[in-house]
Every structure is written in C-alpha cells, then in structure tokens.
Amino acid sequence: MTQTLEPAPGTQVGPSPARQRVERWLADLESALTSGDVERAAGLFAPTCFWRDLVAFTWNIKTVENRDGVTDLLRETAARTGASSFRITEGEEPEEADGVTTAFFTFETAVGRGSGLLRLTDEGAYTFLTTLDELKGYEERRGPTRPKGVEHGAFKNRVTWKEKRTAEIEGIGRDRQPYVVVIGGGQGGIALGARLRALDIDHVVLDKHPRPGDQWRSRYKSLCLHDPVWYDHLPYLPFPPNWPVFSPKDKIGDWLEMYTRVMEINYWGSSPAKKATWDDDAKEWSIVVDRNGEEIVLRPKQLVFALGVSGKPNIPELPGQDIFRGEQHHSSQHPGPDPYKDKRVVVIGSNNSAFDICGALWEVGADVTMVQRSSTHVVKSDSLMELGLGDLYSERAVAAGITTHKADTIFASLPYRILADVQRPIYEAIKERDKEYYERLEKAGFWLDWGDDGSGLFMKYLRRGSGYYIDVGVGELVANGEIPVKHGQVVALTEDAVRLDTGEELPADVVVYATGYGSMNALAADIIGKEMAEKVGKVWGLGSGTTKDPGPWEGEERNMWKPTQQEGLWFHGGNLHQSRYYSLYLALQLKARQVGLDTPVYGLQESYHPY
C-alpha cells in the first residue's frame, strides 16, 4: 500500500510567482531578439526605464533611458550581438519587495558569455544590467585553464620559470613589442595588469617610482584608506580575512608590490613615459620611455592611462610666495608631522587630505590652522560604513552571502540617473543619526554641505572627485575648537603669514597647500599633447550640471574604461573598487581587439569641454 503525503499548509510547490514572472520576461525578450522584433523587445521595458550595458551589446560602457533609448540601442546592436540563452542565475532565487522583482541572470552572445541583474515591475523592466564576463575561446587562464607551470620530463638546456619571467620583462621593446602599454603603476594599472595577464595580453605597466606601491609609500605618513576592506579587494586575490578594516598606506604599498609579483604583471619601475604619438597608418603608438636612464621606444597598438582620479597637484600662484621665509609645499609632498612639532602651520583646504594632515600635526603638538575656502561634505566613517556600505560591503554582508562579485553587480545595476535618489535617504538618515555632531561642527564655524542635491559623498565623488571628508576622528578636533578654522580665499603670503581676502593674517612657519588636483587628462596631455587631449575632452564626471560637473548629461563616467574619440587610447582608474570592477571590462575590450573580433561601438563618447 502506498500513501500520498500532502504538502504542509503554506509550502511552495513548483516555481515561485517571482521566478515564473522573471522566466516569462526573459523568454519573451529572447524570443523578440531572435525574431528581430525590436519594438516588441522594447515594449517589455517600463516607460521609464534604464538599460546599463557593460560591453556585451554595445562594445562600450553605456546607459540608455526609457523605451526610445532601448529601441535605439537594439536597432543598432541586437542583430550583431546574437544574445540568447537568458536564464536565471543558478542558485539565485528572484526576490520580490515593494512591487519590484529582482533577479540575477546569465546569457550568451555570439562572441561571449555574460550576466546581469533585472528589476521588474508591473509595467516591465525598470532597470536592466548586462555585462560581458568572458569571450568564447579566449577565456581567462584560471581554474580548469590555469597554466601548468612546468613541463614534466627531462630536457637539455631547460629554461626555468624565473628565467622566462626575466626574459619576458627585459625583452619588451627589444625582442618584441607589447600589445598594451599602461601608463601609471598604482592600483589601477596593477589591477588592469592582472586582468591582461589572465587574458594572455602582452603588456607592460610603466611608472616613474622605483617599486610598485611607492605611490602610497611616498604620501604623508598618517594616510590610511578611508574605504573598508570589503570594498577594496583586487582582482583574483582578495585581502586575507585578518586584514585590517582600514589599510595603512605602507601596508597597501607592500600589498601592491607583492601582488604585482605573484600575479606576474609586466611592471617597469623608474620608467616614466615622456611622449606618445599615434601613427594612423600603422595603427600603433610610438611611446618614448626613460627606462632607468635608457631611452626605449615602445610601439603598442593600445595605450591606457591609469592615473587614478586625480592629475597634477593644484598649487595656487600667490603674491609673496617668493618672500615667505618658512616652508611651503603641496599635500602630495607632505612628509608627515614630525618636522613641524611646535611650528605654526596653516593648511589651506578642508577636504580629506587637509583633515588628515591637520590631525597628524595636532597630535605632535603643532599649532595648526585650517583655511576653508568653500563648504565641505563631512560624514563619520562609522555612519558611512553602517548606513552607506554595510548592506553590500561589510562583515554582515559577507555573512548574508553577499560575495564581492554579487555586491559589485548590485551596485553597478543602479544607473547614475537614479543613484542620487537612492543615496539621498541614506544621507538624511546619517544627518539625523549624527545631528549633535553636525551642530557642533557648524557652531565651530565649519561650512557644511550635503552635495548640490543632498545626495552626499558618493555622488560628489562620481561627479567631481572632491569636496568631502570621511571623518576618522579629526572632525571632533574641529568641532571642539582644538583645530581652528578660518574662512576666505588666500590672496597673498607675507614673510611670515598667510593673508586672507577678509584682511586677516595667519602667522605661519609652514604652509601646506591641500588644494587638490587637476583633471587626469591634464597629465595625459603632457604625454600625448594638448591637441589630442582636447580631441578626447573631459575625463571623469557624469555631466550632471552640478558644481564642477558641467553638462550635458552623459550618464556614465566620461571617457573612463571605454573607447574614446582617439583610436587606441583608453583611461582607467578610480578607487580600488572601481579599479577592480571595471578593469575586467576594459581588458575584454582590449582582448577583443587583439584577436581581431569586430567591435562596433554604440554610443561613442562625444568630446565635451577642454581637458
């Protein structure tokens, strides 16, 4: 005799409604794409919608908005992309909340495999992220395809791994030409170098400093990362579980040096690039490099500037700088506080570097004053970690199964057009949580702001790369009056003071210009020339029309990680998170060109604003 067991009350039998809804939508999209019915495919999106594509359809990093944007993208790209096999990601069950169904998915194109994230409402897809993850036949050499590392057997005149690596690095520009030259050997160039190695792209990363990590070692000694460890992993090799939440600069420098070696990145230290010219007939660059005093000419097909976010130090030219009897230097050259014990130090600026330097000077007993020239957004580190990043990048996120890749995908799926709306409630909560702290800061005379539209730190970073301080403790010294703040523009130096436009003079033995940096493409212009830099236009910024981010709206970081108006010229960088995430998509674009795939670019970045 057999017995049929009825499911317990409330037990789900078969796919959930959310899963059925997503599966139906993905099937309808694939059917429309396969049949070439662009209008039907676009009709699956909500009237107000955002499709963000990272290389998969567009060979670009591009966001289109609303159904007309989706229609235009598909008319140009659908037939040649050949997207198919849309499936919910294995092991990821769609979630439903507040009328929105969210699902991770995978798909294939004619040349690659991809993944993405869908947010679906009753009106259709609200946000849609598609990313190219690998190229068919040109997958990264890892896991099952990792290098063997040794050829077993007995061979005369065997060449060891070390001998091969030495020959590979020293043979660049002599025995062979690299396909890619990366100018800038900080975390951006190093992260990209790791991706290029994994994709078997011959490359060299150039830097003026002797060793990887020297960019960090050379900064003021109190510098630490203000971003938490979960946000800062490099590709392939995450920080170990006992790594500190906030990394001291020298520890980061040592990690980057170790990483460069173990990831087998072709890295040339003490090798600044002097000049780069493009040969439009040969479709290659000619790059003059000072390699430890020897001039070498490299001829790659692709040139990448990996310059972080910042360019040249902004050092104001002021009357009286030539007669000032004390010491003056930019924050990038600040050696640390020890030489200035008992000195009168005026720090011009009120953002991250200014606060860090003021705090360290206060600790050794210097008489330090901060000059604030414009308002600053300040957020306490603990509040930012808990309310701003904690859902994606924290120990509790890891415990909840949010891997770094999953967190990156969720974050990337939020189009920049709506990101300010997403961020604003976070900063409203922070403002309320730390209300008493902000009241004390303002009572001490500090000028606070929350961004042009109240959207806080991250939007300021994306739009202009400046104007904020993540408070790791020095804000309390300002709020308590232990570090006085003076307001105004600096108009001159005297023999022993800083003069403000208010008429006030601040006695000084030392002046530190914590006045930020220019655009990264100004540094590039020194190498590629002003004419080519202006052809490319502004690098960084979204075109939001807010302070220091002039329109028109672009919807992506201008000229970053994607094709520019100059063939063979790319820009890469950002913070550690962006260097990790976007290095993959830049490397895939470079690999596709190396192996001769057709890479028609949809929505090539126009040139806006001089560099």
pLDDT at 225 over 90: no
pLDDT at 501 over 50: yes
**What pairs with residue 302 in β-bridges?**
180
Euclidean distance between CA atoms 458 and 451, whole angstroms: 10
pLDDT, average across residues 365-374: 97
pLDDT at 308 over 90: no
The predicted pLDDT at position 289 comes to 98
pLDDT at 534 over 50: yes
Low-confidence winner among 196-205, 417-426, 510-519 (lowest mean pLDDT): 510-519
The predicted pLDDT at position 1 comes to 41
User: What pLDDT band is residue 540 in, cutting at 50, 70 and 90?
Assistant: very high
pLDDT at 199 over 50: yes
pLDDT, average across residues 585-597: 98
Euclidean distance between CA atoms 153 and 163, whole angstroms: 18
**140 Cβ contact partners less than 8 Å away, ≥ 6 residues apart:** 134, 198, 199
Cα R_g (the chain), whole angstroms: 26
The predicted pLDDT at position 11 comes to 57
**Structural domains of the chain ordered from first start:** 17-135 (3.10.450.50), 163-311+518-595 (3.50.50.60), 327-513 (3.50.50.60)
DSSP 418-442: HHHHHHHHHHHHHHHHTHHHHHHHH
pLDDT, average across residues 126-151: 92
**Phi-psi map region of 377: left, alpha, beta (phi>0 left; psi -120 to 50 alpha):** beta
The predicted pLDDT at position 12 comes to 57
Check: CB of residue 334 under 8 Å from CB of residue 352. no
Distance of alpha carbon 409 from the chain centroid? 14
Residue 355's alpha-carbon distances to 144, 223, 262, 476, in angstroms, are 48, 11, 35, 11
pLDDT, average across residues 524-546: 95
Q: What are phi and psi of 379, to 5 degrees?
A: -140, 135
Burial class (CB in 10 A: 0-12, 13-18, 19+), 1: exposed
444 or 215, higher pLDDT: 444
Residue 251's alpha-carbon distances to 192, 255, 260, 387, in angstroms, are 20, 6, 14, 27
The predicted pLDDT at position 2 comes to 43
Angle at 537 between CA 204 and CA 514, to 5 degrees: 80
269's tokens: 């230290």
Tell me the per-residue pLDDT of 344-354, one tens digit each, with 9 for 90 and over: 999 999 999 99
The predicted pLDDT at position 10 comes to 56
- In the DSSP assignment, the letter for residue 386 is I
Euclidean distance between CA atoms 574 and 579, whole angstroms: 6
Give the pairing type, strands 95-97 and 100-108.
antiparallel
Residue 254's alpha-carbon distances to 41, 210, 581, in angstroms, are 50, 13, 21
The predicted pLDDT at position 223 comes to 80
The predicted pLDDT at position 224 comes to 83
Distance of alpha carbon 205 from the chain centroid? 18
pLDDT at 31 over 70: yes
From 17, 69, 63, 61, select the one nearest 41 (Cα to Cα): 69
pLDDT, average across residues 67-88: 98
Tell me the per-residue pLDDT of 139-182, one tens digit each, with 9 for 90 and over: 998 888 888 888 888 888 888 889 999 999 999 999 999 999 99
The predicted pLDDT at position 4 comes to 46
pLDDT, average across residues 380-390: 94
The predicted pLDDT at position 9 comes to 58
User: What pLDDT band is residue 309 in, cutting at 50, 70 and 90?
Assistant: confident
Tokens 């994994």 locate to 198
Mean pLDDT for the chain overall: 94
Tell me the per-residue pLDDT of 435-449, one tens digit each, with 9 for 90 and over: 999 999 999 999 999
Tokens 């600069």 locate to 249
User: What pLDDT band is residue 470 in, cutting at 50, 70 and 90?
Assistant: very high
User: What pLDDT band is residue 8 in, cutting at 50, 70 and 90?
Assistant: low
The predicted pLDDT at position 33 comes to 98
